[in-house]
Amino acid sequence: MPAPKSTEFRQRAVALARERAKPIAAIAKDLQISESCLRRWMAVADVDEGVRPGVTRDEHAELVRLRRENRRQALEIEILKRASAYFAAENVLPK
């Protein structure tokens, strides 16, 4: 698997492809990336710029963060429920 490219590289590649001076396949070959990779970068850039509908990279990162936080909070709630049930049962039983 090739190493990931920098953000600047991606932005420049998308700008070159949008100029349409050469076919996308030729640009991708010159940049030593696959044509599908360049097309994907163009699609992601379109979504991020609001040209096409979809979830932007920032929104996706926020969704991932919120889902992770939600799972952590659900686990904490479950632990607290079990602890409260344990201590409630401890107080009910005669000593």
8 contact partners, CB below 8 Å, separation of at least 6: none
DSSP states along the chain: -PPPPPHHHHHHHHHHHHHTSS-HHHHHHHHTS-HHHHHHHHHHHHHHTTSS-S--HHHHHHHHHHHHHHHHHHHHHHHHHHHHHHHHHHHHS--
Quick one: how far is CA 28 from the chain centroid?
24
**CATH topology (fold) of 1-54:** Arc Repressor Mutant, subunit A (1.10.10)
pLDDT at 35: 94
pLDDT at 94: 61
pTM for the structure as a whole: 0.67
Positions of the chain with pLDDT under 70: 92-95
